[in-house]
Amino acid sequence: SRELQRFTNEFLQDSTEKYDSRDVERLQSEDALVEGYLTWRLYVVDDALKMIDESLQWRKEFGVNDLTESVIPRWMFETGAVFLHGYDKEGNKLFWFKVKLHVKDPKTVLDKKKYVAFWLERYAKKEPGMPLTVVFDMSDSGISNIDMDFVRYIINCFKVYYPKFLSKMIIVDMPWIMNAAWKIVKTWLGPEAISKLRFASKSEVQTFIGPEYLPAHMGGTDPFKYSYPPLPDDDFQMPLCDNGPVASEDEMESKEADAESKDALESSFSSEVRPLWFQVNFLEDSLRSEDNDKGETSTKYKGARKPLTTFKGHLLHVSPAEELSFGSVETERKSLIILSNVAKNQVAFKVRTTAPEKYRVKPSSSCCEPGASVDIVVSLHGGSQASPQDRFLIMAAEMENAGSQELALFWKEVPKAKVMEHRLRCHVLEGAKPTGTAVKYHKKFFLSLIYSFVHSHQLMRLMACNSRLEQKLNTCLWIQKVLTVLVLVLLMLTLLCLYLLGTSAQPS
């Protein structure tokens, strides 16, 4: 784009050492990144370029691309002052700041800033393009916990370094003695961020966040207790099995082999019992079984929403790419996930969710042969309703020695670095309202509409200006005509007077 070319000409040629080369490569390859800066700065190109320059310098200064748990002091993780957990009612991830656990200390301020950057970068990689809701939990906090420099840094993270990341900022249970401090903070936010600021008491916070993601001291029912290690794993739990909730993941995995054998045995005696899992080919957007299970397949997939988009991972191709859609009517209570193995070996997979009490996943854990596909039906259980806060996590790992390993043992031993993870959001259908996926995949169309609107607005202003000029010109022409007529009348009167004077001067 022209903006990127201008940034290259003005900033990169003379001072390439200011930036991390990985950030420059990202900027040059991801159009959405440039669009994010442009839209945040209301398409004022000079402001967007300045913002990109500042962001990239900050990323290199803080070494954001190389921030890992080993770089941050362990005690910061152990305090639990900052972490990601839960979702608000709009489905945005919650970024918690426990203010009472923060103590101002110039010696540790740099590490604290890197700690915040670590969480933001971690989330940006896992949920690209998805906004965050920041929650300042100010319960039991006082003046000693307020560090204005640190607060300014957090604000800059969302104003400059991570544009469009902020959904809203909720200040919960703020003591009255801190009113003066927050008046200063508001001057740093700017008009676009002030509109996202919300002050709430413990009772009012449920307007924005459901009780299932609020701690008990805010009137919530969330049993989550932060502890380290490990880091919070995005709240994903194993889904329910057919006979009720699974007591633990290990227990479920240890019973998988027995369950599969039992289902296979029962299916040989009863045609009503469906197999736990089977493989299908995905060809020309149609579902076809490999053997003679066409009747069972059509029954299983009846009413399931077929995916239209695909995420291409290095082990599995996952359809849909981003969202599972659910509605309230019976035909909208099932969605289909299709996993296609693109690896050279067998791939083990399992599906986890943030709301295991709502969803049935068949199969929730199994294997997929090379070149084959597995179809997973996700259905709402009983009278449960889908929510934008609900998420699904697909985990996959290549099984090099598939024949000699059981799934339960494999998942316990496989290194985390070899596990592919892909997340799906939940979208709630509302009549004819377009889905979030449609909006996402027609982004260019909407951007073109915005550009057209801007251009049409400018054209309308130009036309209005032309209309005003035309009116003034017409007025001038009219005045000119009137003056011409008056001059002609005066000229005729002058000639008439001269004639009369000449006539009266002649002798009779």
Average pLDDT over residues 173-194: 75
Among residues 14, 47, 66, the one where a domain terminates is 66
**Residue 198 phi/psi, 5° resolution?**
-130, 130
* High-pLDDT (> 90) share of the chain, %: 19
Q: Report the CATH number that the domain containing residue 397 is assigned in CATH.
A: 2.60.40.10
Q: Please name which of 219, 199, 201, 198 lies closest in space to residue 210, comparing C-alpha atoms.
A: 219
Same domain, 76 and 214: yes
Domain count along the chain: 3
Weakest mean pLDDT among 17-26, 98-107, 208-217, 419-428: 17-26
Same domain, 192 and 318: no
Identity (one letter) of the amino acid at 429?
A: L
pLDDT band for position 113 (cuts 50, 70, 90): very high
Q: Tell me if residue 346 falls in helix, strand or coil.
A: strand
Residue pointed to by tokens 């080369």: 21
Q: Cα 298–301–302 angle (5° rounding)?
A: 75
Q: What is the CA radius of gyration of the chain?
A: 33
Q: Would you state the pLDDT for residue 434?
A: 42
Distance CA 18, CA 54 (A): 10
Q: Tell me if residue 281 falls in helix, strand or coil.
A: strand
Same domain, 129 and 57: no
What DSSP designation does 274 have? P
Domain membership of residue 18 (yes or no) is yes
Does residue 260 have a pLDDT over 70? no
Domain membership of residue 225 (yes or no) is no
Domain membership of residue 272 (yes or no) is no
Distance CA 341, CA 332 (A): 27
Does residue 391 have a pLDDT over 50? yes
Contact 3, 48 (CB under 8 A): yes
Predicted confidence (pLDDT) per residue in 146-169, tens digit: 788 888 888 888 888 887 788 899
Same domain, 42 and 80: no
Same domain, 95 and 207: yes
Tokens of 123: 């989330």
Q: Please name which of 97, 77, 76, 95 lies closest in space to residue 85, comparing C-alpha atoms.
A: 95
Range of the domain at 9: 2-66
Same domain, 120 and 207: yes
Q: Would you state the pLDDT for residue 302?
A: 58
Q: Would you state the pLDDT for residue 451?
A: 54
Domain membership of residue 124 (yes or no) is yes
Weakest mean pLDDT among 89-98, 211-220, 295-304: 295-304
Domain membership of residue 499 (yes or no) is no
Among residues 176, 202, 218, the one where a domain terminates is 218
> Does residue 110 or residue 469 have the better pLDDT?
110
Q: Would you state the pLDDT for residue 388?
A: 85
Distance CA 127, CA 123 (A): 6
Same domain, 27 and 94: no
Weakest mean pLDDT among 85-94, 140-149, 294-303, 406-415: 294-303
Q: Would you state the pLDDT for residue 24?
A: 82
Average pLDDT over residues 65-91: 90
Highest mean pLDDT among 5-9, 43-47, 201-205: 201-205
Weakest mean pLDDT among 37-46, 139-148, 355-364: 37-46
Q: Would you state the pLDDT for residue 435?
A: 43
Dihedral Cα 316, 322, 327, 331, nearest 10 deg: -30
Distance CA 16, CA 20 (A): 8
Which residues, at least 6 apart from 265, have a Cβ–Cβ distance to it below 8 Å? none
Tokens of 253: 């995995």
Contact 354, 235 (CB under 8 A): yes
pLDDT band for position 303 (cuts 50, 70, 90): low
Q: What is the mean pLDDT of the chain?
A: 76
Distance CA 399, CA 171 (A): 47
Among residues 218, 243, 269, the one where a domain terminates is 218
Same domain, 90 and 191: yes
Does residue 257 have a pLDDT over 80? no
Does residue 248 have a pLDDT over 50? no
pLDDT band for position 249 (cuts 50, 70, 90): very low
Q: Would you state the pLDDT for residue 373?
A: 92
Which residues, at least 6 apart from 134, have a Cβ–Cβ distance to it below 8 Å? 95, 97, 154, 158, 166, 168, 169, 170
Identity (one letter) of the amino acid at 473?
A: L
Q: Would you state the pLDDT for residue 13?
A: 55
Distance CA 380, CA 395 (A): 21
Average pLDDT over residues 34-38: 74
Distance CA 346, CA 316 (A): 11
Average pLDDT over residues 8-32: 71
Q: Please name which of 84, 63, 16, 47 lies closest in space to residue 160, comparing C-alpha atoms.
A: 47
Weakest mean pLDDT among 51-65, 345-359, 425-439: 425-439
Does residue 111 have a pLDDT over 80? yes
Same domain, 14 and 76: no
Q: Please name which of 146, 127, 130, 129 lies closest in space to residue 138, comparing C-alpha atoms.
A: 146
Same domain, 58 and 121: no
Q: Would you state the pLDDT for residue 8?
A: 61
Does residue 17 have a pLDDT over 50? yes
Same domain, 43 and 113: no
Q: Report the CATH number that the domain containing residue 204 is assigned in CATH.
A: 3.40.525.10
Domain membership of residue 14 (yes or no) is yes
Q: Would you state the pLDDT for residue 282?
A: 35
Domain membership of residue 282 (yes or no) is no
Q: Would you state the pLDDT for residue 117?
A: 93
DSSP 204-252: GGGGTS-GGGS-GGGT--------SSS---TT-BPPBBTTB--S-HHHH
pLDDT band for position 144 (cuts 50, 70, 90): confident
Same domain, 43 and 92: no
Residue pointed to by tokens 């009983």: 382
Tokens of 352: 């986890």
Domain membership of residue 201 (yes or no) is yes
